[in-house]
Amino acid sequence: MTKEQQGLENLSIWNDAASMLAKAKKDGVETVWDRLHEQRNECAFCAQGLSCSKCVMGPCRINMKGDKRQHGVCGADADLTVARNFGRFVAAGAASHSDHGRDVLDTFAAVAEGKTKDFQIRDEAKLRRIASELGLASEGQPIDAVARALADKFYQDYSSRSERLSFLSRVPEKRRTRWAELGVTPRGIDREVVEMMHRTHMGVDCDATNICLHAVRTALADGWGGSMIATELSDILFGTPRPTASKVNLGVLRKDMVNVLVHGHSPVVSETILAAAKDQDILAEAAKAGAIGINIAGLCCTGNEVLMRQGIPLAGNHLMTELALITGAVELMVVDYQCIMPSLVRIAACYHTRFVSTQDKAKFPGATHVPFTHENARDKAREVLRMAIEAYTKRKPERVEIPGQPVDIMTGFSNEAVLEALGGTPQPLIDAIKAGSVRGVVGIVGCNNPKLTHDYCHTNLAKELIKRDILVVVTGCATVAMGKAGLLTPAGAEQAGQGLASVCKALGIPPVLHVGSCVDNARILHLCAILANALGVDMSDLPVAASAPEWYSEKAAAIGLYAVACGIYTHLGLPPHITGSKTVTDLALNGLEDVIGASFAVEPDPFKAAELIDKRISTKRTALGLTP
């Protein structure tokens, strides 16, 4: 079935997306949906995790249906082949989040050591609080000394000599005991990733279950290590988010301004772009070019970072990144890393748009590369903005089409902000859960996948959950969907059940709380730990769940696995490439429940998924002696 036959409306639920898909067709621009169609009849071996190209004795394909090719050349069967592939998949995701954390740590260390003037510590109170929490001297100490000590401690978390990550002190004792019994307590962040790569080399770990357990350990090193470090240090450097108003969708672009899109995941680049865009000489240059100002808007998780902290509007999520360029209104897209489709360079070239990469680890052929470092970030940001202003003079008004009007949202719900709204303690939320006004909490996270109708699963799952008095917290690309659906404002409480609506109205909050980018899933882990510690229970006892309804990436697999490893039932809209192994699939869907206290569920239908999650929350409430 061609795109024309199935209809543009079946690709996305949003009018702004449909408008830009129609414009892409008119402009002769290829999109992600076109390329997915060209990839039809995908390889069944790859989809099931049954192909292997890890050595040149292969590549091999394991045939589960016949009497031949049941083993690879090395002798690996289906279970081992799938486990090896999945282990490396998780390791790549954990490495991506953790390397993001390392970049933030490097910036933080440069500030602490006085090696940069382009960044500074904006939340000194949080720095001192985190240092004290981790056993470092803080009170009465110079701020740079505290920062250097904290940087050293976090660098140790990345090393192979670490025996336990710093933030494991936040994990409830019962959960830590369970991990110790299973041998999955995360040690050094890099150590777990390297060990996974070693284990999955031919002739090392040949036990599929053992590999999967190490995948758990690797994922936990992401959640309680790299991601949590990235979140906490980003708050210290750039400000801890507080509730603020902003806007979302392609309508945030402006015809009368120089439009610059920041895209990727790290706030290090985007924060300097924001700062430089306020420089009076830069604004004067924009005015001379005929613009009334410079409009910065975000995409994906870099967008989430600056949305949470600075209220910068969010233009779109993963599947909107190409469509944002197709508006013809974007002067420049500046990127850091992760989830940046290589196609964006080609699409930018179809218009007047400049595409600028900034990280040496993330170069894009055809892009203009402007390397940002701690020493030159502000100067490079000014250079990039001047490129955007120059591009504005080349914009062709007849090719510009900005669909729709911006939608209001409320953002900035860090754990600190949530606890402040509750009076400084989690007790009011616990009381609401006990009373049934809030029956449970679900984190809806993750990406978009063109195999599923864009944002259909995100929005419908959230709406079904809040109707059932289940509070939703959201991160990453799912944020855009929630905002466009009207769920990120206090008025969204009208779509919630009576109990949840009453809580939202009393606190003046939305029924879906935006808590950050994908690394900020660490905030959700920490909040669950706070609740479990307050109640004296394991995290697996809480009436909570997680969902990645439209996920696609290795990072999402690591997130899902660390959620399950923490005892959080986790729904996926699509399965990972593991279905070729009965052992690995059964472990994911059933076996982990007995050893970890949670499992995965796979369901593409958001209404059926809501039923599964609701049932889980009811079960956990009953076990705690609460009404279902």
Please, is 449 exposed, middle or buried when counting C-beta atoms within 10 Å of its C-beta (0-12, 13-18, 19+)?
Answer: buried
> Annotated binding site for [Ni-4Fe-4S] cluster, which residues?
265, 301, 339, 447, 477, 518
Q: How confident is the model at residue 163 (pLDDT cuts 50, 70, 90)?
A: confident
Please, is 279 exposed, middle or buried when counting C-beta atoms within 10 Å of its C-beta (0-12, 13-18, 19+)?
Answer: middle
Chain-centroid distance of CA 21 in Å reads: 25
For residue 3, the model assigns a pLDDT of: 45
Cα-based torsion angle of the residue sequence 628, 475, 572, 325 in order, rounded to the nearest 10 degrees: 150
For residue 7, the model assigns a pLDDT of: 64
The residues of the chain that CATH labels 1.20.1270.30 are 78-162+170-238
> Annotated binding site, which residues?
43, 52, 55, 60, 74, 265, 301, 339, 447, 477, 518
Of 214, 61, 41, 56, residue with least CA distance to 580? 61
For residue 2, the model assigns a pLDDT of: 44
Tokens of 452: 């599923």
The residues of the chain that CATH labels 3.40.50.2030 are 250-399, 410-624
For residue 65, the model assigns a pLDDT of: 77
Residue 339 DSSP class: S
What average pLDDT does the chain have?
96
| Alpha-carbon dihedral sign for residues 54, 192, 341, 39 | positive
The H or E element spanning position 60 is: strand 60-61
Q: What distance in Å separates the CA atoms of residue 536 and residue 172, rounded to the nearest whole number?
A: 8
Q: What pTM was estimated for this model as a whole?
A: 0.96
| Alpha-carbon dihedral sign for residues 253, 258, 261, 267 | negative
Whether the Cβ atoms of residue 510 and residue 504 lie closer than 8 Å to each other: yes
> Annotated binding site for [4Fe-4S] cluster, which residues?
43, 52, 55, 60, 74
Q: What distance in Å separates the CA atoms of residue 441 and residue 471, rounded to the nearest whole number?
A: 5
* pLDDT over 80 at 353, yes or no: yes
pLDDT tens per residue across span 61-102: 998 776 777 999 999 999 999 999 999 999 999 999 999 999
Tokens of 386: 């001047």
Render the burial of 367-387: b for 16+ CB within 10 Å, e for the rest. Answer: bbebebbbeebbebbbebbeb
Strands (E), 285-437: 294-299, 314-316, 332-335, 354-357, 368-369, 407-411
pLDDT tens per residue across span 306-346: 999 999 999 999 999 999 999 999 999 999 999 999 999 99
* pLDDT over 60 at 611, yes or no: yes
Q: Which CATH number does the domain 78-162+170-238 belong to among 3.20.20.100, 1.20.1270.30, 2.40.50.140, 1.20.1260.10?
A: 1.20.1270.30
Q: Angle formed by the axes of helices 377-392 and 280-288, to 10°?
A: 10
pLDDT tens per residue across span 1-29: 344 435 667 899 999 999 999 999 999 99
For residue 69, the model assigns a pLDDT of: 79
Write phi, then psi, for 310 (nearest 5 degrees).
-120, -5
In CATH, what number does 410-624 get? 3.40.50.2030
Mean pLDDT calculated for residue range 408-436: 96
CA distances, 185 to each of 69, 89, 181, 397, 569 (Å)? 37, 20, 9, 57, 19
Number of residues that make up the chain: 628
* pLDDT over 50 at 386, yes or no: yes
Question: Which top CATH class is 250-399?
Answer: alpha beta
Q: What distance in Å separates the CA atoms of residue 305 and residue 479, rounded to the nearest whole number?
A: 12
Q: What distance in Å separates the CA atoms of residue 377 and residue 230, rounded to the nearest whole number?
A: 19
pLDDT tens per residue across span 579-597: 999 999 999 999 999 999 9
pLDDT tens per residue across span 473-503: 999 999 999 999 999 999 999 999 999 999 9
* pLDDT over 50 at 213, yes or no: yes
Q: Which amino acid, residue 400?
A: V
pLDDT tens per residue across span 502-511: 999 999 999 9
